[in-house]
Structure 1
Amino acid sequence: MYTISINTFCSQIRQRWGHKLEPSLQEWEQVERERSAHEALQTLSTDPLEAPKNVARYLNPPSDTIYPLEYACHLLGDVSGKTILEYGCGDGVNTVLLANRGAKVISLDLSAELVDIARRRLQVHGITSGVDFIVGSAHDVPLPDASVDVVFGIAILHHLDLALSAREVHRLLKKGGIAIFQEPVRNSRLMRAFRKLVPNRSPDISPFERPLTDQELKDFAGNSSSYHSRPFTLPTSTLLTMLPGLHDSSAKFLAWDARMLSSFPPLEYFSSVKVISMTK
């Protein structure tokens, strides 16, 4: 079967909608469905089975971990018996991690194709209960008010209309519930401009898809009773891991970033990843 690269596909989509300065939310979501379906075709060729060590590392990670996803999982704490909404499950890699935490998981995604892959991934891992899937919009989740204890999302908010999704997350959380997100961040205009020059990056295809700023994340949490963020990854590490022979040194670079961010807090402005948590 003939397939085109994701970069070519996204470029074609961008050209289709490029004449519209403000495409409607429905039009944008349709574009996202098309792109997700294309990504799903490419995902089918990958092994859905995660190595046991890659699952175990997220069950009880330390608070001082240098890895953002581990830190997001650390913030979950003990979720046994609680209900987690996975806000944008994609192909189910993180669904497997959440399903092993003893919670009831509701995994939402706009793409039916990616949800099918997520279901198959759970089957391969022997997970037969405790997870329900919903194919639907993150802007309008078909769940009752105050129905979940945790909303958990990895690289999802920067795809969304923040005002709509903020209201939806607040609506869905129970009183005292927590929302945890890991998101790409670019506060510096220079870094946002440089991002467009980075090779091997899929082009944006909607007016909503872009790295966020610290202020946008704070505004997203505006109705919360508490808010916390932690920075990860400085631009130098991202650049160095692109150089030949240095990709396998990423752990060393992340550890260096963690030390620098801890020792010199103003560097947080230049971090490219944030893990945030907010309590209703």
Structure 2
Amino acid sequence: MTQAISLTIQERLERETEHFEELYAAEAARGIQPLSDFDKVRYTNPSANTIFPREYFYHLLAPLKGKDTLEIAAGNGIDASICAHNGANVHAYDLSSESIKMVRQRADANGVLDRLQTQVTGHFTEAFANQTFDHIIGYAALHHIPYQGMAEQIYERLKPGGCAVFAEPVVNSKALRALRDLVPYEIFESTDDEVPWNDQTINEFAKPFDRKIQKDFQITSRLWPMFPNNWALTVALHKLDSYLKLVPGMRRFATVSVFALYRDR
């Protein structure tokens, strides 16, 4: 994975658009399934002590009922449907028209289309312009976006008492970054222009906000997508990580960070 630093913002957005138009068209062609009963339960008010990053993401958001929620880069629509299932009024945008088509199809399959509004755009300022929100969210979204100045814009569009919740891939270890560069196999699909974040990036992004909560996940459990049908192994790897993070120095090998940024006033 490399970053074309010389690209303009518009050129980068065009490359991302082309990539995700193809990706989501192919995913939709394979069929869109409604949320399972298992996922509906696990993402409704999960515990703060959960070992799973997406469950912690929804712990930070709960309760969602009646909350106006803006999703940045809605992707395949899973989080829009989960939020709407939990009672949020969801406003979802993405630069890919195929993404937004899929977001709407998934919401319809889950019976929550009436709680969803969508827009095709790659610019945060254009997305549902002049509206403010209780929550602004993104799951593995920010590292795809030229984010300079975006934190201040997000803060301004949060209602007082609101929060922005994100989950991002992170690399805090130079050794881990070097190892990834040497291994051609990618566990997660990625684009040429995305850049994983780190603690420094997150702390810089958090500066306009009144406070931050952050928790890190996935050391060994980063490997779980290699075993998609082995739930017992997935749980075991995540449990192992919860113990590894207690060892001094091991946190820097986490590969996902989930964080909430608050506007208190």
Asked if the contact 2:57/2:258 (under 8 Å) is kept, the reply is yes
Task: Describe how 1:1-280 pairs up with structure 2 within 5 A.
Answer: 21-49=5-33, 50-145=35-130, 147-196=132-181, 197-201=183-187, 202=189, 204-206=191-193, 209-234=194-219, 236-238=220-222, 242=226, 249-261=233-245, 263-264=246-247, 266-280=249-263
- The amino acid of 1:199's aligned partner reads Y
Percent identity reads 27
Distance 1:241 1:100, change over 3 A: closer
Find the aligned partners of 1:187 and 1:45 in 2 and give their Cα distance. 37
Distance 1:216 1:54, change over 3 A: same
Q: TM-score w.r.t. structure 2 length?
A: 0.89
Asked if the contact 1:143/1:172 (under 8 Å) is kept, the reply is no
Q: Displacement, 1:193?
A: 1.9
Q: Displacement, 1:126?
A: 1.8
- The amino acid of 2:19's aligned partner reads R
Q: Displacement, 1:143?
A: 3.3
- The amino acid of 1:43's aligned partner reads E
For residues 84-137 of structure 1, the C-alpha deviation after alignment (integer angstroms, 9 at most, x for no partner) is: 111111111111100011121101111111100111111111223111001112
RMSD, matched Cα? 2.5
Asked if the contact 2:104/2:113 (under 8 Å) is kept, the reply is no
Q: How many residues align?
A: 260
* Displaced runs of 4 or more, over 6 A: none
Any idea what SS the aligned residue of 1:177 has?
strand
| Structure 1 runs not aligned, ≥5 long | 1-10
Find the aligned partners of 2:126 and 2:248 in 1 and give their Cα distance. 37
Q: Displacement, 1:39?
A: 0.2
Find the aligned partners of 1:191 and 1:65 in 2 and give their Cα distance. 25
Q: Max radius of gyration: which structure?
A: 1
Q: Displacement, 1:194?
A: 1.7
Distance 1:193 1:140, change over 3 A: farther
